[in-house]
């Protein structure tokens, strides 16, 4: 199936100019897309235009945007009441009307004959079934869900939801669209609440339940919510800001899907009907009652998070990203579980579940890990994807620009170690899962390290880089976005670096009181010499991809939108060459760098001579004489 290019300046049609639609339009326009906003009448469009104007004016006030940039963004947005004109030629159509199944279904029926057969159509929904909505659309394979979080122009989280018939290429395109609009996309299954609202909305409901049962005052519950999750707002103020009706309606949807344990609190329903905000500020905090509130919140959150992962709704990593990026909490459910220990987490979940019995099922995986005495829930920060003979090793902490912490570095080491025993892999690309390589080592982890711990952290990084460098086959580092500090040090361990236009590369460690320790200074000196290395390290000033190419530590620069495709082609070209010849010459070049010329020449001659004893040499020369492509076996 042909997937349209959803890259700037492609046309994005946003249907609905309300709070969400206007925010989505602004986010797209700020990222370089051409945006058409459609609503039913001129007053609605004017309101949407006003919302965008207000958001941009606020950005100028906060010095996040210049007046010139504001005009540029507004110049990319047009407004119309004509549905046909709005969607004509659009690569992506985002339906962002009121969260009502009948309203959305009617609109999708109207859109069906108007959109291009190649266009992707997405519904912006926080609770409705994508599969059910797709049944009213003529091309369900091109239909998916996008859950933008309020305010859509600012909040970085984007849930990407596939229906039963959604093509995987459509989901890939929407994920890349998310990155291009500066979001952190997470893939979630089409289940009520998706990932984030599945545990977030019940947290709001539980706060009302605690008040209803007289467990603690509103002020106590509010303060525990802030402290426990490291959030700016507690549950009651959150509902006051975002709307108590939204919390009530969302909880009703979860109740319909999951049963009694998700029943809306009577207190929440009363507050909704009253039309008044929660008056938590008028009450006193009761410190002695905090423990029970804390344990209820943890038991609920960990219990639901573990279940949704077990059901395949989202990964643990995506679940935590939803909390830290979308809800702006300091920690996600699995990070909190690991901080208290899995056995203690299970105790709190079982304690919470007692009141509900079978209506609140406990994750079998949580029980298994607790029984095994595990303390931390394993989190995967490195993904390996096989694309023909090429393996992509992807750094996957997009919420922190792939900052390198100890876990990620150790997982890089294990990933390359594992690939050494996979003969089908003839080339490896090291890159970020998002269009960022790595913005550096994780300052949040390093900040509190002692001298001895700092030394050990450096050695963990060195071991990861050395494993990359010592990999027997060719390794290409693809740098998009940023490769700074430890990120560049890691990239320098590859056989060579290719970069996307606009990428920034540098070793700025001296700006935070340290200096490179993973081998970056040593490797860079061997590539570009002492003087240029010292300039980069002493100043800490990053350079662009083209300048890095000129200096000699980047081998090729590709257009930003095509960097991954071009890198895959390059890797496939290398993979098509004689595997033993490529591996052996890699060793000759690397070992010869530190040897006297006479020794390097001897090593090269010996290695080249040994290629004459391989089947690949026989096949290669025979194919040349027979004028056909060779079929190398690596033997």
Chain-centroid distance, C-alpha 389: 25
| The pair of three-digit structure tokens given for residue 33, joined into one six-digit string | 């897309």
Planar angle of CA 164, 167, 169, nearest 5 degrees: 145
**Crossing angle for the helix pair 342-353 and 364-371, nearest 10 degrees?**
140
Catalytic residue, from 99, 222, 237, 509: name it.
509
- Bridge partners of 123, per DSSP, are 95, 145
- Which residues are within 8 A (CB) of 12 and not within 5 positions of it... i.e. 6 or more apart? 6, 25, 28, 33, 34, 35, 36, 90, 91, 92, 93, 94
CB neighbours of residue 287 within 10 Å: 10
Report the DSSP beta bridge partners of residue 427.
390
Is residue 509 flagged as an active site residue? yes
Does 317 participate in catalysis according to the annotation? no
Q: Which residues contact 329 (CB under 8 A, 6 or more apart)?
A: 229, 230, 231, 323
As beta bridge partners, residue 603 has none
Q: At what angle do helices 196-212 and 266-274 cross, to 10 degrees?
A: 90
Facing residues of 147 across strands?
Answer: 159
Rounded Cα distance, 26 and 50, in Å? 11
The catalytic position among 46, 175, 489, 572 is 489
Rounded Cα–Cα distance for residues 12 and 32 (Å): 10
Q: Which two tokens stand for residue 411?
A: 């997982």
Crossing angle of helices 244-258 and 235-242, in 10° steps, is 110
- CA–CA distance, 411 with 146 (Å, rounded to integer): 31
Query: How is residue 37 written in tokens?
Result: 């906003």
Q: How far apart are CA 22 and CA 24, in angstroms?
A: 5
What is the helix (H) or strand (E) element at residue 304, kind and residue range? helix 290-310
The first and second tokens of residue 243, run together, are 């709307």
How far apart CA 505 and CA 430 sit, in angstroms, is 15
Contact 98, 54 (CB under 8 A): no
Contact between 174 and 120 (Cβ < 8 Å): yes
Write the CB contacts of 563 (distance below 8 Å, at least 6 apart in sequence).
Answer: 478, 480, 498, 499, 500, 501
CA distance 134 to 137: 5
Q: How far apart are CA 442 and CA 459, in angstroms?
A: 15
Burial of 75 (0-12, 13-18, 19+ CB in 10 A): exposed
User: Of 249, 359, 250, 247, which is closest to residue 300 (Cα–Cα)?
Assistant: 359
Catalytically annotated residues: 489, 509
């Amino acid at each position: 199936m042909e997937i349209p290019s959803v890259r700037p300046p492609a046309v994005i049609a946003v249907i609905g100019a309300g709070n969400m639609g206007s925010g989505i339009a602004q986010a797209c326009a700020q990222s370089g897309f051409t945006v058409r906003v459609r609503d039913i009448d001129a007053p609605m469009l004017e309101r949407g235009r006003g919302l965008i104007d207000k958001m941009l004016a606020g950005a100028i006030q906060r010095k996040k945007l210049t007046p010139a940039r504001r005009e540029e963004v507004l110049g990319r947005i047009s407004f119309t009441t004509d549905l046909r004109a709005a969607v004509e030629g659009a690569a992506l159509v985002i339906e962002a009307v009121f969260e009502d199944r009948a309203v959305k279904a009617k609109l999708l029926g109207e859109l069906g004959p108007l959109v291009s057969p190649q266009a992707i159509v997405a519904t912006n929904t926080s609770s409705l079934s994508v599969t059910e909505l797709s049944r009213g659309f003529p091309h369900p394979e091109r239909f998916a869900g996008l859950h933008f979080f309020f305010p859509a122009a600012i909040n970085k989280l984007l849930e990407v939801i596939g229906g039963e018939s959604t093509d995987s290429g459509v989901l890939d395109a929407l994920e890349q669209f998310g990155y291009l609009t500066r979001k952190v996309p997470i893939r979630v299954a089409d289940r009520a609440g998706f990932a984030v609202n599945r545990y977030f909305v019940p947290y709001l409901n539980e706060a009302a339940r605690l008040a209803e049962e007289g467990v603690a005052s509103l002020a106590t519950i509010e303060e525990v919510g802030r402290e426990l999750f490291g959030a700016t707002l507690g549950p009651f103020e959150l509902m006051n800001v975002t709307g108590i009706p939204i919390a009530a309606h969302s909880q009703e949807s979860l109740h319909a899907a999951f049963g009694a344990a998700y029943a809306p609190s009577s207190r929440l329903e009363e507050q909704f009907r009253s039309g008044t905000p929660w008056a938590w500020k008028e009450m006193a905090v009761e410190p002695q009652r905090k423990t029970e509130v804390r344990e209820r919140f943890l038991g609920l959150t960990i219990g639901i998070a573990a279940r949704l992962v077990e059901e395949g709704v989202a990964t643990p990593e995506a679940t935590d990203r939803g909390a830290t990026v979308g809800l702006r909490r300091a920690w996600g459910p699995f990070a909190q579980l690991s901080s208290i220990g899995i056995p203690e987490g299970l105790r709190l979940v079982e304690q919470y579940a007692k009141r509900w019995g079978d209506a609140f099922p406990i994750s079998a995986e949580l029980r298994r890990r607790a029984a095994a005495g595990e303390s931390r829930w394993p989190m995967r920060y490195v993904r390996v994807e096989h694309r023909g003979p090429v393996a992509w090793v992807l750094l996957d902490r997009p919420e922190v620009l792939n900052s390198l912490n100890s876990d990620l570095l150790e997982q890089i080491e294990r990933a390359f170690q594992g690939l050494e025993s996979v003969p089908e892999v003839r080339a490896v690309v090291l890159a970020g899962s998002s269009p960022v390589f790595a913005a550096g080592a994780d300052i949040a982890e390093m900040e509190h390290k002692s001298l001895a711990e700092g030394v050990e952290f450096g050695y963990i990084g060195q071991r990861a880089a050395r494993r990359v460098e010592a990999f027997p086959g060719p390794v290409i580092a693809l740098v998009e976005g940023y490769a700074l500090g430890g990120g560049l040090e890691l990239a320098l361990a590859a056989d060579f670096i290719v970069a996307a236009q606009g990428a920034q590369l540098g070793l700025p460690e001296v700006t935070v009181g340290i200096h490179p320790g993973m081998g970056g200074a040593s490797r860079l000196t061997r590539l570009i010499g002492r003087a240029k290395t010292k300039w980069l390290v002493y100043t800490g000033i990053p350079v662009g991809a083209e300048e890095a190419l000129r200096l000699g530590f980047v081998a090729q620069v590709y257009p930003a939108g095509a960097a991954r495709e071009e890198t895959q082609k390059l890797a496939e070209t290398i993979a098509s060459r004689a595997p033993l010849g490529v591996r052996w010459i890699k060793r000759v070049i690397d070992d010869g760098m530190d040897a006297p010329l006479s020794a390097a020449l001897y090593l090269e001659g010996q290695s080249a001579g040994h290629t004459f004893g391989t089947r690949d040499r026989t096949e290669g020369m025979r194919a040349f004489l027979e004028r056909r492509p060779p079929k190398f076996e690596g033997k």
